[in-house]
Amino acid sequence: RSGHPLEALYRRVRALRLAEGASDVLRLNLARGRFELDKGRL
């Protein structure tokens, strides 16, 4: 892709933020699952 160097940097940073956000969602789901197990549910 051609364009301004900042454009390429922005795309890379955005991809990292999306990946990080996905891991945060996974972490929340795992924590929620632990609480459900403590209540005797899956």
Question: pLDDT for 1-42, tens place per residue?
Answer: 567 888 888 888 888 777 666 777 778 888 887 776 666 655
CA 42, 38, 32, 30 dihedral sign is negative
Do residues 1 and 8 lie in contact, with contact meaning Cβ atoms separated by under 8 Å? yes
Residue 1's pLDDT is: 56
Segment 38-41 long-range contacts (CB within 8 Å, at least 24 positions apart): none
Residue 41's pLDDT is: 56
